Amino acid sequence: MVKINYQKAVKSALDQNGPVVALESTVITHGLPYPQNRDTALGMEAEVSKTGAVPATICLTQGDIQVGLEPEQMEYISTTKNPVKVSRRDIAAAIVARRDGGTTVSGTMEIAYKAGLRVFATGGIGGVHRGNLMDVSADLPTLAQIPMIVVCSGAKAILDLPATREVLETYGIPVIGYQTDDLPAFYSTSSGLPADYNAKTAAEVAQIALTQWEFGLKATILVTVPPPAELAIPAEEIEGVILDAVKEAEEKGIKGSKITPFLLAKVSEKSHSRSLTTNVALLKNNAHIAGLIAVELSKING
């Protein structure tokens, strides 16, 4: 059996059916520079804690699966040289090679679900890449196959959002707008595409998820939360920057798992960190809302 190492606080919360929120770590290892990566991760954990839920940041350290990090482990994963970006396809090889790894949405979900967690917060999910409709993130099929609640600000705006929206529909992944009719576009309040349903409260989201699971439907409930209004960037303001970044990636021949981190970094550079500020704010906000949902879920389930 592959061993899962639980942080003590996470283990005792799970044993009591208490609220726990999984957090990913690609954003730590490949998304943000040090020390902003560590501070954002700690900030997300703090937002979860404020709601009364327990945060569980998931990653690999020297091939060991960690569910929940002590401060020194957080420091270690934030500063490790040469980490692997662990999508679900990479989990087994990274364990065998004893690598440090930041887990993506798909990697985190595979581990979190086996560890007994049901609620997960991230920034934006992966999806269908612009200009290369065959480059589809492993996040999408994973969302179709693992019954959790994933809280995000939609798919990352660097992607082809209409195509990503279609794939979500094909896979039967319910897109639940959190107090909105619209699907947000990561940095922006709306993508111009609709959510499937507008949930007014965290309790309503918990009810929808329990009904989905009771009925044996496998797809994740995708809860989409707009970025905090004061930091949202109008789509038309960020679109030019995204197009430039996509063009540069094409010219440089960047492909595969490198393209998402490249595009996010370029958009941040070209927007003079405006996108980064929004990215950090939405990560914390999503963590907070995931905490509220986890608390409601454990009230019904606990």
**Contacts with ligand PSU in 75-134 (CB under 6 A)?**
104-105, 122-124, 126
Q: Which residues are annotated as a binding site?
A: 85, 105, 135, 137-139
**Does 7 help bind ligand PSU (rule: CB under 6 A)?**
no
In angstroms, give the least distance from the CB of 264 to ligand PSU: 6
Stretch that binds Mn ion, among 4-12, 128-136, 226-234, 282-290 (CB under 5 A): 128-136
Give catalytic residue positions.
24, 156
DSSP 63-103: TEEEES--HHHHHHHHH-SS-EEE-GGGHHHHHHTT--EEE
Integer Cα distance of 111 and 212 in angstroms: 21
Stretch that binds Mn ion, among 66-74, 133-141, 219-227, 272-280 (CB under 5 A): 133-141
**Does 250 help bind Mn ion (rule: CB under 5 A)?**
no
In angstroms, give the least distance from the CB of 16 to ligand PSU: 29
**Contacts with ligand PSU in 232-291 (CB under 6 A)?**
257, 260, 264, 279, 283
Q: Which residue is nearest to ligand PSU (CB)?
A: 123
Integer Cα distance of 200 and 198 in angstroms: 6
Work out what residue 26 binds among Mn ion, ligand PSU, none; the CB cut-off runs from 5 to 8 Å by kind: ligand PSU
Q: In the chain, where does DSSP find H-type helix?
A: 8-15, 26, 36-50, 71-79, 91-96, 105-114, 139-145, 161-170, 202-214, 235-252, 259-270, 274-301
Identity of the residue, 110 or 296, whose beta carbon is nearer to Mn ion in the bound complex:
110
Identity of the residue, 101 or 174, whose beta carbon is nearer to ligand PSU in the bound complex:
101
Integer Cα distance of 31 and 266 in angstroms: 11
Identity of the residue, 222 or 264, whose beta carbon is nearer to ligand PSU in the bound complex:
264
**224 Cβ partners below 8 Å, 6+ apart?**
152, 153, 154, 175, 176, 177, 178, 180, 183, 184, 195
Q: Compute the chain's Rg from CA coordinates.
A: 18
**Does 64 help bind Mn ion (rule: CB under 5 A)?**
no
Per CB under 5 A, residues contacting Mn ion are: 135
